[in-house]
């Protein structure tokens, strides 16, 4: 019995450990899970797969087409005609007829189909670039949700730490008041800050629930624990290369957004060629084999086999202005695509500049806040010693604690802003892949 009693707690502990291990997730694990489970990226992959089918569809129009047709009929013919005496006489004829036709057609000159094939190639490139852009954005979205959840956890830790400090100071104020050296104002101020802290804690816990739910929706898995920032491995570095112009060039060459817009411009140009081909003739090679039986009343019980090969030419003469209208429409669409490309290029440069500055400027800001934290720690320590010596009040100590908490909050936010600017900058130049996420993940610890 004693042995059985020992096994039960051990088993429960093992199950709890497995459960905790299952629910714990670092940034790289979250990214890999989102690649498999995020509904947005799955939708994008399906859209890209559908877009790829445009190419074989367009190619099929350039290849030979073969068709076979067959018909079987039972004919009941009534014929009224004068006989040799001049009298009308009606005769009924019932006979079967059949027809089998095999046709082979190969287009020789169809400019519209050629332009359609080139357009399909551009549309497939657009679909691939859009998918690549969505995959880059996935790294940004997962990192943003993960860091936001981490930040809310840190903010709750700060609130709890602040509550502990306020509780300690409230006890000290009450003891000082009871000993005759304190004031009622010190007690009331400490109590007011502690009560306000309780409200802030409620808000912090609500934010944790929301951010964790947001991350769980992406990975489609329950998450109980997140990794934390490992300050011993976290080293904010300036962006490399160090010139923003170099990042502009990388973005122009590798940005999936620009690749998508360029493909759309090419597709619009091919649309113009398709519209203009409405003025051109078409030429097909046609080969046909047909076998018929009893084609008509004059050939009952007669079989015919016909084999033919030749060229078929169609020349458009007049379509009421339809072709000219479609050309004008296509040219307007091309102008729209070209302007969208230019607008996208300018917007991309602006975002690259913003994220580049976000990385470059947050590096010294982090260092400044780290120094501010050391100064705030010293200020809290000095305030406590001065309070013990009678030169400071509880309010002074609480103010020092409050300033320290604000520095801690700003430092945590700046660190995550740096990491987000870094991953967004990589996404803009098409480098926010699993390796980039893994590099950032090395700064975290479970």
Under DSSP, is residue 309 helix (H, G, I), strand (E, B) or coil?
A: strand
CA distances from 101 to 97, 246, 355 (A): 14, 65, 67
CA distances from 331 to 89, 265, 343 (A): 69, 11, 18
C-alpha 341/C-alpha 326 separation (Å) is: 22
The encoded tokens of residue 382 equal 């000095």
Burial class of 275 by CB neighbour count within 10 A (0 to 12, 13 to 18, 19+)? buried
Whole-model pTM: value is: 0.82
- Torsion angle (degrees, nearest 10) of CA 184, 187, 190, 194: -130
DSSP 391: S
- The torsion angles phi and psi of 229, rounded to 5 degrees, stand at -75, 125
pLDDT at 180: 77
C-alpha 376/C-alpha 381 separation (Å) is: 9
pLDDT at 20: 41
DSSP 182: S
Beta-carbon contacts of 326 under 8 Å, excluding residues fewer than 6 positions away, are 275, 278
What is the helix (H) or strand (E) element at residue 81, kind and residue range?
strand 65-82
Give the E-state strand segments of 3-45 in sequence order: 24-25
| Residue whose entry in the numeric block shows the structure tokens 């900058």 | 425
Average pLDDT for consecutive 10-residue bins of the chain (446 residues)?
A: 43 43 79 94 95 95 94 85 80 86 94 95 96 95 94 92 87 82 83 90 93 93 89 90 93 94 96 94 94 76 88 92 94 96 96 95 95 93 85 83 91 94 95 92 85
pLDDT at 4: 44
DSSP 313: E
Q: What domains can you pick out in the chain, each with its CATH number?
A: 22-61+110-280+316-445 (1.20.1600.10)
C-alpha 366/C-alpha 368 separation (Å) is: 5
pLDDT at 88: 83
The encoded tokens of residue 429 equal 């130049």
pLDDT at 13: 45
Under DSSP, is residue 311 helix (H, G, I), strand (E, B) or coil?
A: strand
């Amino acid at each position: 019995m004693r042995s059985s009693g020992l096994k039960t707690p051990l088993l429960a502990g093992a199950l709890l450990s497995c459960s905790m291990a299952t629910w714990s997730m670092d940034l790289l694990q979250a990214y890999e899970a989102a690649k498999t489970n995020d509904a947005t990226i799955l939708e994008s992959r399906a859209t890209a797969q559908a877009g790829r089918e445009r190419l074989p569809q367009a190619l099929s129009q350039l290849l030979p087409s073969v068709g076979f047709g067959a018909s079987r009929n039972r004919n009941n013919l009534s014929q009224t005609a004068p006989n040799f005496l001049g009298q009308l006489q009606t005769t009924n004829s019932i006979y079967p007829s059949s027809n089998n036709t095999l046709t082979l057609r190969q287009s020789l000159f169809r400019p519209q189909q050629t332009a359609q094939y080139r357009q399909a190639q551009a549309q497939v490139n657009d679909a691939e670039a859009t998918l690549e852009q969505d995959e880059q954005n996935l790294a940004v979205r997962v990192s943003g949700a993960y860091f936001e959840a981490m930040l809310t956890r840190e903010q709750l830790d700060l609130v709890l730490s602040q509550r502990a400090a306020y509780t300690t100071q409230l006890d000290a104020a009450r003891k000082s008041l009871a000993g005759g050296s304190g004031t009622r104002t010190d007690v009331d101020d400490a109590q007011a800050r502690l009560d306000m802290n309780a409200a802030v804690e409620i808000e912090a816990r609500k934010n944790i629930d929301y951010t964790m739910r947001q991350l769980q929706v992406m990975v489609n898995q329950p998450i109980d624990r997140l990794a934390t920032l490992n300050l011993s491995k976290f080293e904010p570095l300036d962006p490399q290369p160090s010139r923003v112009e170099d990042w502009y060039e990388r973005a122009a060459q590798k940005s999936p957004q620009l690749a998508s817009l360029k493909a759309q411009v090419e597709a619009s140009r091919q649309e113009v060629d398709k519209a203009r081909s409405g003025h051109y003739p078409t030429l097909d090679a046609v080969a046909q084999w047909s076998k018929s039986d009893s084609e008509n009343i004059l050939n009952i019980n007669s079989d015919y086999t016909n084999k033919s090969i030749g060229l078929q030419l169609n020349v458009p003469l007049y379509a009421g202005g339809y072709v000219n209208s479609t050309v004008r429409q296509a040219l307007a669409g091309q102008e729209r695509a070209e302007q969208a490309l230019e607008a996208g290029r300018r917007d991309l440069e602006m975002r690259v500049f913003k994220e580049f500055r976000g990385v470059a400027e947050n590096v010294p800001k982090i260092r400044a806040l780290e120094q501010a934290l050391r100064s705030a720690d010293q200020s809290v320590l000095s305030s406590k010693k001065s309070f013990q010596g009678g030169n400071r009040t509880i309010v002074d100590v609480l103010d020092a604690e409050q300033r320290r908490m604000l520095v801690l909050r700003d430092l945590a936010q700046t660190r995550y802003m740096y990491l987000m600017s870094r991953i967004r900058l990589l996404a803009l130049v098409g480098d926010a892949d699993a390796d980039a996420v893994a590099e950032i993940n090395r700064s975290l610890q479970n």
